[in-house]
Amino acid sequence: MKTEMVFMNFVAASFTRRRWFSSSPPSAPSSSLPWISPLQLSKATLPKPDPPTEPSVEVQKKSKYISHEYAINLIKRERDPQHALEIFHLVAEQKGFNHNCATYATILDKLAWSKKFQAVDAVLHQMTYETCKIHEGIFLNLMKHFSKSSLHERVLEMFYAIQPVAREKPSLKAISTCLNLLVESNQIDLARQLLLHSKKKLELELNTCICNILVKHHCKNRDLESAFEVVNEMKKSKISYPNLITYSTLMDGLCESGRLKEAVELFEEMVSKDQIFPDALTYNVLINGFCHGGKVDQARKIVEFMKSNGCNPNVFNYSTLMNGFCKEARLQEAKEVFDEMKSFGLKPDTVGYTTLINCFCRAGKLDEATELLKEMKEKECKADTVTFNVILGGLCRVGRFEEALDMLAKLPYDGIYLNKASYRIVLNFLCQKGELNKAAELLDLMLGRGFLPHYATSNELLVRLCMAAMVDDAVIALLGLVEMGFKPEPDSWTHVLELICRERRLLSAFELLDELVDPIN
């Protein structure tokens, strides 16, 4: 059997680990010991064994027997999945030890995280012969791992494996989890198979949660008619009657399609007919819908309606409204919403601050934007990469390149993470504005930190350096880019070669060709 082969390989590879779990330490090889008659054998004549390894000391101090809890800790701490599997098999060699659901769940999670799916299959096969109770949660976790790895058919296989291995029908939660993963991955045929199997073989009726997944799928695909058909069927069943999530999903779909009037009508129907009262998230669907539809004043009225009906707006609602005003370049109204939010005792989050900072930057008010950045630090609201990228873009738009370059140079030393977009934003502006000396310096900084410029920007920079007769900078830039795996367009590096030849530096030209030929080929 496959499991036995895995076990035998493990035994051969793990001989030195056996001392962890034996009742007494192993003796040295016989070839290194003198022969002793059994009659003469005594404790005094026994050779001293090799000192045990550190894990052995730790285990023997606690117990000679490895418990399930301790085995789980060993598996979790082991970084190498193969070694974790060895430990898993090794503890099972103890007399009286049988794996339980917890140890199986731990090793399967470890193997799945490492994408060792063949090993996962071997362990699952072993589970089928166990007498311990296996819970379906193991299979739900494996579904998520397989979905992340785009092994969608395996997601459905894990659902089918629940009943034979766990020896009970899958729960509605299992169906919801599997269906949601398949729908999110747009695996509609597999989703249909799941629903047919659940209805015919398992005789399970779809509940509200499962139906909501279908409604979300249809709304996501802009198929609102099918979404409403599902809702109409839900209303005919007692166990799947529409709830707040159902209505919120439908309203969001209508707003995304620009059908704002119908979204409001559905909102009124939800409250008046079904007596389902909205929360801040449901209100935000309408606020966001009107903002995207260019009707930010109506969105403002929805916030006022919220307050008058006893539902206090949260930071998310105010940030959405602020973003709507910012998109229409209505800076004053956006600032008023921000101040109102703070007056109600709400603490603006990173998204709220970044929204307003972006509005100031777009309006060219960089001083106000940097003041907000300082306020964030004072209020212990951590600015993220998006916040700094907004500031960098704002500084470059008004030509304050020195400040932008200074930020790029210093921020990483303050523990602030910058991504490749941070550098690219500034480099693009420098190229566009003809600041070639600064662009060359920034390129050197980028490459030194492992960031490669955009392909088009790199080629543009090389051509611009050549046109400006900056031969040394062009050569250094080209070699640095090639070393990072960049393959320049023929026009870019032929420009550099022509420039070198024009200055009669033929030796440099040949050296450059030698550098370029191998990486390009």
In a domain, 301, yes or no: no
Single residue among 134, 151, 183 that ends a domain in this structure:
134
| Cα distance between residue 97 and residue 65, in whole Å | 9
Q: Which domain holds residue 83?
A: 1-134
Q: What is the spatial distance between Cα 429 and Cα 426, in angstroms, rounded to a whole number?
A: 5
- Token readout for 10 is 């493990």
- Quote the CA–CA distance of 363 and 44 in Å, as a whole number: 90
When pLDDT is averaged across residues 425-433 and rounded to a whole number, the result is 92
93-142 confidence digits (pLDDT tens): 998 899 999 999 999 999 999 999 999 999 999 998 888 899 999 999 99
| Beta-carbon contacts of residue 409 (< 8 Å; ≥ 6 apart) | 445
Residue 66 lies in a domain: yes
Closest CA to 235 of 260, 269, 191: 269
Q: In whole angstroms, give the CA distance from residue 429 to residue 425.
A: 7
Between CA 61 and CA 52 the distance in angstroms is 12
Q: Is the per-residue pLDDT at 54 higher than 80?
A: no
Does 338 score more than 60 pLDDT? yes
Q: Which of 186, 117, 174, 169 lies closest to 146, judged by CA?
A: 117
Which pLDDT value is given to residue 369? 94
- 315 lies in a domain? no
Query: What was the pLDDT predicted at 459?
Result: 80
pLDDT tens per residue across span 350-401: 999 999 999 999 889 999 999 999 999 999 999 999 999 999 999 999 999 9
Is residue 425 assigned to a domain? Answer: no
Residue 426 lies in a domain: no
Q: What mean pLDDT is predicted for residues 35-41? A: 36
Count: domains in the chain: 2
Question: Is the residue at 427 inside a domain?
Answer: no
For the stretch 238-274, pLDDT in tens is: 788 999 999 999 999 999 999 999 999 999 999 999 8
Instruction: Choose the final residue of a domain: 134, 163, 183.
Output: 134
Task: Count the Cβ atoms, other than its own, within 10 Å of residue 183.
Answer: 20
Q: Which of 92, 115, 134 is the last residue of a domain?
A: 134
The gap from C-alpha 379 to its chain's centroid, in whole angstroms, comes to 28
Q: Largest Cα–Cα distance of the chain, in whole Å?
A: 102
- In residues, how long is the chain? 521
pTM: 0.68
Distance CA 272, CA 298 (A): 21
Quick: pLDDT tens for 280-337: 999 999 999 999 999 999 999 999 999 999 899 999 999 999 999 999 989 999 999 9
Residue 312 belongs to a domain: no
Indicate the pLDDT class of residue 60, thresholds 50, 70 and 90.
Answer: very low
Q: Is residue 27 part of a domain?
A: yes
Which of 10-24, 55-69, 320-334, 507-521 is the least confident region? 10-24
